Amino acid sequence: MPASTSPGPPSTQKIVDIALRLALIAILAYACYRIARPFLGLVLWTTLLAVMLSPMHLWLKRRARLGNAVSAVVIGLVGVLLVLVPILFVTDSLLRTALRVVAYVNEHGLVMPARPLWLERIPLVGHTLRVRWDAAAADLPAMLQQYRPQIRQGADWLGGFAGGLAGGLATTLISLAFASVLLAYGEQTYRFAGALAARITGDRPRARSLIQLTASTIRAVVQGIVGVAFIQTVLLGIGFFMVGISFAGVLSLLAFVFGILQLPVVLLALPAVVYVAFNEPTGIAVAFGLWTVLAAASDNLLKPFMLARGLDVPMPLILVGVIGGLVVDGMIGLFTGPVTLAVGYVLFDEWLREEAA
């Protein structure tokens, strides 16, 4: 019976060859990363949008009988319009407000307007606001000089916020256009993702399951965070614009940011209700108050339906993703942060379940 032979240790030459190959792969990967780094946020946001919109793409192809390219173009155009039209409304409101301020300064000079009678009746802070208003009315330049550092810091923050917001909106519009292209090549993209996942997991059925789990998580989180914030902002914005609030565009924009940050929008809506109550007829004020309260509370009805359908992601994790994404990636991080953490959490939880089984 022949003696069994076991393979000996690899030779030095073989070890050197493997090390050189790994080093070349690492260098190539790093070089590719350096080149692609400015576009990673755009690529990630494009991928998230394409995954979120793919069910609509399939529905248009099957039910509306649109071609693959036509369906993708329709989704891209509608998506761009849904983002662009609110931007135009908000921009128009901001410009009108700025023009009114400039016109007031040109007519009256740098002076405070007459103090509204209802200011002192505001609970808790009314007296303080009255004192500060009267002091500013007596000598506005002196007060501006006194608070000059704080005003400069606020202006710098506002400029940075506006720049980040403009960049985020521009990235969203570009990502929607690229996402429509990705939808048009959806089958090839799915095959590539399946091959990559199969290469990583070593099991094709397991790879398909992970891809489906990742896609469902992305859709649930994007719909639950972005979708709820958008719907709530539209409802509040309708009330702000219909009643003719001067800063309706700013309030609508802040409502959207509050929704993304998971902050209670009622903190923003209640001052608007108080303002309308003191400046509009009773009927309009009551109708606006009811509408605003219902719109501010709409997330309590929408979020369980749009976020938690078959998805068990802790809300603190979503909040950490929103804040961390904002710190790391700016305005786009508001969207990509919670999705990335949610996908990581779901895949990690699935891996733990598999190990336990």
Per-residue confidence in pLDDT tens, the chain, 357 aa: 455 555 656 678 888 888 898 999 999 999 999 998 888 888 888 888 888 888 888 888 888 788 888 888 888 888 888 888 877 777 777 777 777 777 777 776 666 777 777 677 777 777 788 888 877 777 777 777 777 788 788 778 777 777 777 777 788 888 888 888 888 887 888 888 888 888 877 777 877 877 887 887 777 777 777 788 888 888 888 888 888 887 777 788 788 888 877 788 888 888 888 888 888 888 888 898 899 888 888 887 777 766 655 456 777 787 788 788 877 877 677 777 887 888 888 778 877 877 665
Angle between helices 333-356 and 248-260 (to 10 degrees): 20
The DSSP result for 180-225, as a single string, is: HHHHHTHHHHHHHHHHHHHHHHS-HHHHHHHHHHHHHHHHHHHIII
d(CA 353, CA 349): 6
**3 state SS of 247:** coil
- Phi/psi at 10 (5° precision): -65, 145
pTM of the full predicted structure? 0.67
Q: Count CB-CB contacts under 10 A for residue 73.
A: 17
